[in-house]
Amino acid sequence: MDSLSFDVKDLILSLIPTREELLPLAFASRSWYSLIVPRHTEYRKLHLSFAHPEVWAHLAERADLASNIREVRLGKWNPQAEKEIYSKTVVSVDCYEDGDVSQALRNMTNLLEFVWISPWLPFQATGKDPYAPIFQALQESRTLKKLSIHHEREPEDDEVPLSGQTIQPLYLKLASRASRFPLWSVANLTSLTLFGNWATPHSDAITSMLFLSLCLEELSIFVNEVDCPGFTSCHFPHLRKLYTVRIRKESIANISTANLDAPMLAFLAAHPTIEDLRWYPLLHDHYGLSSGMLPKLRRIESHHGFILALLSVATSGTRTLESLSKIFLRADTFEYLENVDPTSLRELEVSFCGDNRLLPRVAAMFPNITRLTVQGVHYSPIPDTFEEFIPFLASFTSLETLWDASMWEIFNWSKQADKDLLINKVARACPRLKELYYCDRLFTESLRIRLTLIRSAREDTVKYKLEQGAGGEE
């Protein structure tokens, strides 16, 4: 291969998708190293949390390098946990132009994924409509398959993460009102996420957009509580993941909740390919589910009643569920849990526990649970100390991650020496445990704490590291 021309080698390297797969080849010889580093290793992902006009100007000028980028992520979920990723060998550019971002995106001829979190612009914008050129560039992309726009809240006074100037809070909502807004013409996607109030007034535009991507495999979207979701008029033969979040209205007293749920239930019945579902119906019973509905379902987050209704629907054998979220743990729940393959369940989130003694029963029934979430659980009876809760945790022999709110309130009031002792007792009781998360009952992100266990084969004592505001995949 060393005899190949530069262009042929570069073409071969461009077909390797990740940095991790490039590195072994880079260390094979000096000639390959010089081709791969930094031309390819630093141009696969672009993650920016703040304004970096020099990066955009560089990518606008160097189309040969920009074409190697596969993934762009603008914004940040958690500034403490996430790191920016961009080329550290950026060639200096004398001046910056308003069109650098859109031109850079056009140069990314192999771009597969674009994520924009809280889109308050990644540059100093002076144009009349700073969003349209960016979405126009995405619309023109022939390779883009995954698009995510998260705009769930407005920026706080001291938080304008992607620009150095204050942006009108409703800018995106206003800009996207036009039916010809280029976002609505992005086509041929396999994954689409539109989160935030800004998107809900555009149900017709979103529906027309979805008809341009009937090969969707993943759809995550906000829907109005009183409106029929427009996407229910579409059919996606390959849909595997569906997440919906309702925008609640002040009153729905004069509206039939059954009529609101009916289109969604019909949509689910028409999509047996769904494996991952997050949906909270307005009804809490009498769903009228068809026999064998969602036979490929692996993960579900919903109301307790809807989950039990799905489990009661006959399928060919037990359901091979990997994740159950928001169930109530009561004695009568086990009748339905018997319809779940005991070896498949890995994640369980309990919203209510009627009796602590039911936890070991769950652990015995599903021995492969690695993640247990008991946020906001009202324990009965309530243990007086965190230590009393340890035997319940010990029954989950495969447990690696624990999310909890109630018991951590007891833990936080303990003295430091007692905390160290308790953590070591938990670590010994759960030999596979790696992380514990505390989150208050309101799921406040700033109060979220991650406790990472640090085990050593040479030491009996387990150390741990605390991180405030830590993320964690929910």
C-beta atoms surrounding 400 within 10 Å? 16
Dihedral of CA 452/298/309/337: which sign?
negative
Question: Is the preceding peptide bond at 24 cis, omega within 30 degrees of 0?
Answer: no
Residue 350 included in any domain: yes
pLDDT of 105 reads: 96
Domain with residue 358: its CATH number is 3.80.10
Structural domain count of the chain:
1
Residue 472 included in any domain: yes
The domain in which residue 368 lies consists of 346-474
How far is CA 179 from each of CA 135, 175, 182, 207, 438, rounded to the nearest angstrom? Answer: 13, 10, 9, 12, 44
pLDDT of 301 reads: 96
pLDDT in tens, the chain (474 residues): 666 777 777 677 777 777 777 777 767 677 777 677 767 777 889 998 877 888 898 999 999 899 999 999 988 765 555 688 888 776 666 667 778 889 999 999 999 999 998 775 544 444 566 788 899 999 999 999 999 998 755 444 444 434 444 444 455 666 677 778 899 999 999 999 998 776 666 778 888 999 999 999 999 998 775 666 789 999 999 999 999 987 655 445 555 555 678 889 999 999 999 999 999 988 767 788 888 899 999 999 999 999 999 999 867 788 999 999 999 999 999 999 999 999 999 999 998 887 778 889 999 999 999 999 886 555 555 565 667 778 888 999 999 998 876 666 666 677 788 788 888 888 899 999 999 887 655 555 555 778 899 988 777 788 888 877 655 544
Residue 113 included in any domain: no
Q: Are 146 and 138 in contact (CB under 8 A)?
A: no
pLDDT of 172 reads: 67
Q: Are 70 and 110 in contact (CB under 8 A)?
A: yes
pLDDT of 322 reads: 98
pTM of the model: 0.84
Residue 389 included in any domain: yes
Residue 29 included in any domain: no
Residue 277 included in any domain: no
pLDDT of 163 reads: 41
Residue 282 included in any domain: no
Residue 142 included in any domain: no
Q: Are 401 and 435 in contact (CB under 8 A)?
A: yes
Half-sphere exposure of 459 (CA within 13 A, CB side): 8
Half-sphere exposure of 323 (CA within 13 A, CB side): 14
